[in-house]
Amino acid sequence: MNLSNFGINAYKNTAKNESSENNPEKKVFTPVFEKISTQKNEGEKQGFVKSSFSSEIKSSTASNHHKTMNEIFDKRFFPQLSDKDFQGNETARIAAKALTSGGLIKVPEQPREKDGKENIYRRVAKFLMLIGVDEAAKILPHLTDEQTEKIIPEIASIRYVEPEEAKAILEEFQGLVKQAREEGGIDTARTILEKAFGTHKAGVILEKTATQISGKPFEYLAETDSERVSLLLKDESNAVKALVLSYLNPKVSAQVINGMETEDKKDVVMRLARLSKISPEIVQRVDKAMQEKMNHLATSKSDSIDGKNILAQILKRMSPEAEEGILANLAEADSELGEDLRERLFTTEDIINADDRFIQDKLRDMDEEEIAYLIATKAEDFRNKILDNVSENRRKSILETEKFLYPMRKSDCEKATSQFFSTLRRAYEEGNLYIKGRDDELYV
């Protein structure tokens, strides 16, 4: 799912009975923002929904052609936007303006607050969470400061989105299952289906379309992160783990292996090294079993939402200036929430991707005992990041100190970690630390 296909879409059936799901002829796609215009102009009186552009979208969708967001956000459907808005392919700006000028923010027939007024900013916050952090991060900078200041706290406070409400929000956009399957992979399709139809119905739809989606063995795991793969393989034998991991992206497989217990890790690595010819029937059986298990995991997972974490992920994808401006405004309204978000914005992953030279300078100011507390109980990639940035002799000394200090008090480890993270976070906020992945667009 990406911004060029921003019209994250809701799938509609013309018939509401179960048989319509099995009859593709009865399924139609409603154009994006089909009813978005709130102006009673002459064009609307003549039948806005039945315009030639509407027919064009339906026919092109049927022929497996997906319009870009530039095409979907057609000027004819946004009379409130100026010609300038449509220059330079400013699709994120158009999307933001559509939300606040004539789109989601003005959709009627939504649940009202106790005082009878609809909280439009909370609804927009839920929409931004549903479309994903990448798209949300690109849209937020184009909103006004006042709008942003009202939407951000709503994102941070949201814990749960009712399936029916998610469906109602997403149904204002076009084309769901086909686009998700072709461009986002089965994991994206599953996520959006759950939001639109609920977890049970999503599993049923996925099961029915599994034969159409499947290609190579375990292809449905292509878009799945290492955490979810680990959960999928948790209770499986090491032989099955090795087989599945051999078909996945090497980076994902490495992360899954790193999270295993030491003995399992050794056994799985050994089995991977010895893999040669495997019966296609065995691969097929394991593939089918994993797919069924994956669908079960999807339909049984919790619907709870960590609004603060989602907001942190959105802010990390924005420019440092925009990020700092939002955090400053948020801290004025809620200092505790502002500090919580600052801590979430700087993670172990950021340390791993931080500039080695800066890490080396900071480690010179720490003694062996402090570094030992810092790396204790940490994941292998974090430990390697620290130990690879000291000399060989000092590395040996740190590891010896770590052994000597065991068992360590948890408070000592947390103190060393907090101090180290705070130092690097301040350096990053002041522009003195480069982090790969977060600053790639700012440096050449």
Tell me 11's DSSP state.
Answer: -
Neighbours of 39 (CB within 10 A): 11
User: Which helix (H) or strand (E) element contains residue 275?
Assistant: none
pLDDT of 394 over the 90 cut: yes
CA distances from 91 to 9, 72, 73, 100 (A): 17, 10, 8, 14
pLDDT of 112 over the 80 cut: no
Average of pLDDT values for 154-165?
Answer: 75
Q: How confident is the model at residue 177 (pLDDT cuts 50, 70, 90)?
A: very low
Residues listed for the chain: 444
Q: How confident is the model at residue 103 (pLDDT cuts 50, 70, 90)?
A: very low
pLDDT of 83 over the 90 cut: no
Query: pTM value?
Result: 0.34
Q: Compute the chain's Rg from CA coordinates.
A: 25
Average of pLDDT values for 82-100?
Answer: 50
The answer to whether the beta carbons of residues 123 and 146 sit under 8 Å apart is no
- d(CA 281, CA 291) in angstroms, rounded, equals 15
Domains located in the chain, CATH noted? 3-175 (no CATH), 198-300 (1.10.220.30), 346-442 (1.10.220.30)
Residue with structure tokens 């089909």? 34
* SS3 annotation, 77-120: HCCCCCHHHHCCCCHHHHHHHHHHHCCHHHCCCCCCCCCCCCCH
Query: What φ, ψ does residue 13 adopt, rounded to 5°?
Result: -110, 140
| Tens digits of residue pLDDT in 268-310 | 888 888 777 777 778 888 988 888 887 776 544 444 456 777 7
CA distances from 112 to 102, 147, 150, 155 (A): 19, 19, 18, 18
| Tens digits of residue pLDDT in 324-356 | 777 777 778 888 887 777 777 777 888 898 999
Q: How far apart are the first and last CA of the chain?
A: 27
Structure confidence at residue 114 (pLDDT): 53
